[in-house]
C-alpha cells in the first residue's frame, strides 16, 4: 500500500474493528437500515415487473368497429373497401356475427349461455389496426367511423394499456418518493450511531487531537463506519427483497393464471442491486459525515 | 524557540489566568516554570499547544504566532511539541505499546519503522519490558513514564511537561527528573511546569515563577 493511502487503509480497518467489536449492535443497526430500504426496493422491483408486463402488451391500439344489425352484406363489403383505402389503417380483420358467437361459445363457461340464446345478439365487427402511435390520429379515425350511419359503436382498445402505463409510472414515482423518505431515516440511524460512538470515544479523540491528529484523521474512521454500515444494510435489504420476491412469486403466478397471463416474477437486476448498494452506502457515509460535522465541533479538545 | 509577548488570558467567567506574561525559551534550554497550583502554569502550556487562545499578546512557537493559526494548522504545531499533560491521558483500552504508537499513527508514520521507534522510546524511559501491559496494571510512576515515552516518540524539538512528578513518591519523582535531565543533555529544549522545583535545582535549570497569573521578578 502506498504511503498516501495508508491512513485510509488504517481508517477502514478501524471502522471494521468497531463494527465487529459489537456484532449485535451492528446487526441491529444494519437491520434497521435494511428494513428501511427493503420497502421501496421491493416496490420498485414489483413495479418494474409490472412495467415489463405492460410493455409486453401491444401498446398499439386496436379499434373495434361494431356495425348495426340491419346492415346488409353488400354494405359491409362497401365499408371494408372504404377502410382498406384509408392510408391510416394498416390492418383490417372482419369478424362476422356468427363467427363471433362461435368464438364466444368456444371459450370456457359461455357454452351454456350461447346455447340458451334463441337469437344471436352479437353484431358484425371490424378490428382495425391503425398505423403510427399518435393518439390524435386514433381519435380522428374513431370520429370518422362514428360518423358513418352503419356504425353502432367504436371502441379504442388501447385505453387500458395506456392507463396501465400511467399507473406503472405513478407506482415508480411513489417508490422513489418512498426511497427518499426512508433514505432520510437511514441517514438519521447512522447519524445517531455515530453520535454515540463519538461520545464513547471522546477520550481517544481528545488525546489524538492533542498528539497532532488532523480533524480528517479523526473523522475518517467514522465515515468509513457509516459507509460500511450502509453497505451492510444494503446487502441485507437485497437479501430481503430477493426472499420476498421468492415468497410472493407463486402467489402472483396463481393470480396471473386466473387471468391467463404468464408472469415470471423476476428479482432485482444487477443494475438495481448496484444502485441499491450505492444508495445505502452513500447515505451511510453522508449520515456519518453530518454527525461528525455536528458533534466533533463540540470541543473534543478541552 | 518559544516566546511570550505580554500575554494575558482571561477565561469566559472573568477569571484572569495569565496577566501580561513575557518570557522566552531558547533552543536547547531547560526551563523550570514554578508556581503553586492555580498560578496559571497549565494555562500557559495550553496556550503553547494552541488548546487555548490568548486574550491579549502573542505566543510564538518556532516563529509561528499560535493565536492566529487556523484550526487545520494546529495539528502540525502539536506534532512539533512533545506534550506530557498533568493527567497523563493514556488510553486504558490499549497496551503500552499501542499508546506510545499513537503519535506515529496519527502522523501516518510508516508502520515498520514506527514499531522500532516505539521500542526505543520505551527503552529510554525504562519501560521496555512493559510494552504488552495495559496502563491500568501499572503504578502511577510507570504510567508517567509511558506518557513521557509517548511524548518523545516523535522526537520533538521541544518537550513540555505539566507536573510530571505530581502524585509520585520522592524516589519515583527523582527518577523522572533525571529522565528529563538526560533528554536535555541530548539537546532537547524542555519546559517543565512544576510546584516541586527543588527536584530540578541540582541541574542548574533556569527558573521562572508564576503567582496569580503574573511572572515574579
Does the pLDDT of residue A5 top 70, yes or no?
no
Chain B residues in contact with A3 (beta carbon < 8 A): 108, 110
The angle, 0 to 180 degrees and rounded to 10, between the axes of the packed helices A159-200 and A270-295 is: 40
Average confidence score pLDDT of chain A:
83
Query: What domains can be seen in chain A, in order of their start residue?
Result: 6-57+162-297 (no CATH), 63-157 (3.30.70.3040)
CB < 8 Å to B154, chain A: 212
Percent over 70 (pLDDT), chain A: 88
Tell me the pLDDT tens digit for each residue of B54-66. Answer: 999 999 998 899 9
Question: Which has more pLDDT, B15 or A60?
Answer: B15
Given a contact cutoff of 8 angstroms between Cβ atoms, the answer to whether A136 and A124 are in contact is no
Whether residue A214 is predicted with pLDDT greater than 70 in this model: the reply is yes
DSSP letters, A212-247, are: T--HHHHHHHHHHHHHHHHHHHHHHHHHHHHHHHHH
HSE-up (13 A, CA, CB side) for residue B31: 21
Q: Contact at 8 Å (CB) between A233 and A34?
A: yes
Lowest mean pLDDT, pick from A87-101, A103-117, A175-189, B110-124: A103-117
Of A274, A268, A285, A284, the residue nearest A41 (C-alpha): A268
Which residue does chain A place closest to B153, by CA atoms?
A211
Q: What confidence tier does A4 reach under pLDDT thresholds 50, 70, 90?
A: low
Cβ neighbours around B212 below 10 Å, total: 14
- Put simply, the answer to whether A207 touches B91 (Cβ < 8 Å) is yes
The Cα B141–Cα B150 span in angstroms is 14
Residue B211, helix vs strand vs coil? strand
Question: Are B73 and A214 within 8 A, CB to CB?
Answer: no
At A302, the pLDDT band (50, 70, 90 cuts) reads very low
Judged against a pLDDT cut of 50, whether residue B42 lies above it is answered with yes
Judge: A211–B91 Cβ closer than 8 Å, yes or no.
no
pLDDT at A297: 66
H/E stretch holding A197:
helix A159-200
Residue-wise pLDDT tens digits, B140-160: 888 989 999 999 998 898 999
The tens digit of pLDDT for each residue in B69-119 reads 888 889 999 999 999 988 778 999 899 999 999 999 888 888 888 999 999
* A174 contacts: CB under 8 Å, gap ≥ 6: A43
pLDDT at residue number B123:
92
**How distant is the Cα of A25 from the closest Cα of chain B, in angstroms?**
20
Distance CA A227, CA A233 (A): 10
Query: Residue A223 — very low, low, confident or very high, per pLDDT cuts 50/70/90?
Result: very high
The pLDDT score that the predictor gives to residue B190 is: 93
Chain A nearest C-alpha distance from B179 (Å) = 21
- Residue B197 CA to residue B166 CA, distance in Å, equals 11
Question: A9: how many CB neighbours lie within 10 A of its CB?
Answer: 11
Residue B97: what pLDDT? 94
B177 CA to centre of own chain: 13
Residues of B in contact with A209 (CB under 8 A): 75, 78
Q: Give the best residue of A1, A210, A300 to mutate against chain B (max B CB count within 10 A).
A: A210
**Low-confidence winner among A162-166, A217-221, A267-271, B158-162 (lowest mean pLDDT):** A162-166
Select from A3, A212, A302 the Cβ nearest to the Cβ of B103: A212
Give the Cα separation of A197 and A300 in Å (integer): 13
Yes or no, beta carbons of B78 and A210 under 8 Å apart: yes
Give the tens place of pLDDT for each residue, B165-214: 877 888 888 888 888 999 999 889 999 998 887 887 777 788 899 988 88
* A56 pLDDT above the threshold of 70: no
Q: How far apart are CA A144 and CA A100, in angstroms?
A: 24
Q: What's the angle, vertex CA B20, arms to CA B18 and CA B23, rounded to 5? A: 95
Mean pLDDT, to the nearest integer, of A94-104? 81
Cell of A87: 392510408
Mean pLDDT (whole number) for A174-191: 90
Of B150 and A130, the structure prediction assigns the larger pLDDT to B150
Query: Who among A204, A212, A214 is closest to B72 (CB)?
Result: A214
Kindly report the nearest CA distance between residue B4 and chain A, in angstroms. Answer: 21
Q: Residue A120: which pLDDT band, with cuts at 50, 70 and 90?
A: confident
Report residue A129's pLDDT band, with 50, 70 and 90 as the boundaries: confident
Q: Is A151's pLDDT higher than 70?
A: yes
Nearest to A212 among B71, B78, B111 (CB): B78
A181-190, A227-236, A257-266 — most confident range: A227-236
DSSP code per residue over B49-88: TTSS--SEEEEEETTEEGGG--TTTHHHHHHTEEEE-SS-
Instruction: Look at residue A1 and tell me whether its pLDDT is greater than 50.
Output: no
Q: What share of chain A is helix, strand, coil (3-state, %, to 5)?
A: 70, 10, 20
Residue B169 CA to its chain's centroid (Å) = 20
pLDDT the model gives residue A60: 62
Q: What is the ipTM of this complex?
A: 0.87
Amino acid at each position: 500500500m502506498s504511503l498516501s493511502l495508508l491512513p485510509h487503509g488504517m481508517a477502514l480497518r478501524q471502522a471494521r474493528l468497531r463494527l465487529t467489536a459489537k456484532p449485535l449492535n451492528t446487526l441491529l443497526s444494519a437491520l434497521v437500515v435494511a428494513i428501511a430500504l427493503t420497502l421501496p426496493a421491493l416496490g420498485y422491483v414489483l413495479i418494474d415487473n409490472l412495467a415489463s408486463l405492460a410493455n409486453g402488451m401491444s401498446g398499439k391500439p386496436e379499434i373495434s368497429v361494431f356495425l348495426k344489425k340491419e346492415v346488409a352484406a353488400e354494405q359491409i363489403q362497401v365499408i371494408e373497401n372504404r377502410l382498406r383505402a384509408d392510408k391510416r389503417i394498416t390492418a383490417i380483420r372482419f369478424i362476422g356475427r356468427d363467427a363471433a358467437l362461435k368464438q364466444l361459445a368456444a371459450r370456457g363457461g359461455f357454452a351454456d349461455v350461447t346455447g340458451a340464446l334463441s337469437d344471436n345478439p352479437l353484431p358484425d365487427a371490424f378490428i382495425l389496426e391503425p398505423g403510427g402511435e399518435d393518439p390524435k390520429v386514433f381519435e380522428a379515425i374513431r370520429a370518422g367511423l362514428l360518423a358513418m350511419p352503419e356504425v353502432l359503436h367504436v371502441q379504442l382498445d388501447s385505453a387500458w394499456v395506456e392507463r396501465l402505463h400511467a399507473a406503472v409510472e405513478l407506482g415508480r414515482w411513489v417508490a422513489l418518493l418512498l426511497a427518499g423518505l426512508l433514505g432520510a431515516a437511514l441517514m438519521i440511524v447512522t447519524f445517531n450511531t455515530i453520535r454515540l460512538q463519538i461520545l464513547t470515544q471522546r477520550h481517544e479523540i481528545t488525546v489524538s487531537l492533542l498528539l497532532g491528529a488532523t480533524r480528517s484523521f479523526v473523522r475518517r474512521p467514522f465515515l468509513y463506519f457509516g459507509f460500511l454500515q450502509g453497505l451492510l444494510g444494503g446487502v441485507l435489504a437485497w437479501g430481503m427483497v430477493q426472499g420476498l420476491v421468492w415468497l410472493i412469486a407463486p402467489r402472483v403466478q396463481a393470480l396471473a393464471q386466473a387471468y391467463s397471463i404468464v408472469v415470471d416474477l423476476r428479482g432485482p437486476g444487477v443494475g438495481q442491486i448496484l444502485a441499491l448498494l450505492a444508495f445505502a452506502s452513500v447515505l451511510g457515509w453522508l449520515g456519518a459525515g453530518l454527525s461528525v460535522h455536528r458533534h466533533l465541533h463540540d470541543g473534543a479538545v478541552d | 524557540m518559544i516566546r511570550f509577548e505580554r500575554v494575558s488570558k482571561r477565561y469566559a467567567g472573568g477569571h484572569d489566568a495569565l496577566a501580561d506574561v513575557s518570557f522566552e525559551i531558547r533552543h536547547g534550554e531547560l526551563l523550570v516554570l514554578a508556581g503553586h497550583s492555580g498560578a496559571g502554569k497549565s494555562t500557559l502550556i495550553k496556550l503553547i499547544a494552541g488548546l487555548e487562545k490568548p486574550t491579549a499578546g502573542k505566543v510564538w512557537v518556532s516563529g509561528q504566532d499560535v493565536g492566529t493559526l487556523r484550526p487545520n494548522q494546529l495539528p502540525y504545531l502539536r506534532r512539533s511539541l512533545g506534550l506530557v499533560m498533568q493527567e497523563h491521558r493514556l488510553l486504558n483500552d490499549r497496551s503500552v505499546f499501542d499508546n506510545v504508537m499513537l503519535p506515529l499513527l496519527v502522523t501516518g508514520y510508516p508502520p515498520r519503522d514506527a514499531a522500532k521507534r516505539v521500542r526505543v522510546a520505551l527503552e529510554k524511559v525504562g519501560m521496555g519490558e512493559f510494552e504488552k501491559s495495559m496502563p491500568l496494571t501499572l503504578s502511577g510512576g510507570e504510567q508517567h513514564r509511558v506518557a513521557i515515552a509517548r511524548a518523545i516518540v516523535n522526537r520533538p524539538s521541544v518537550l513540555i511537561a505539566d507536573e510530571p512528578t505530581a502524585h509520585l513518591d520522592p524516589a519515583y519523582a527523582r527518577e523522572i527528573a533525571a529522565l528529563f535531565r538526560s533528554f536535555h543533555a541530548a539537546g532537547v529544549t524542555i519546559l517543565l511546569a512544576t510546584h516541586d522545583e527543588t527536584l530540578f535545582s541540582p541541574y542548574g535549570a533556569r527558573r521562572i515563577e508564576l503567582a496569580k497569573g503574573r511572572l515574579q521578578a
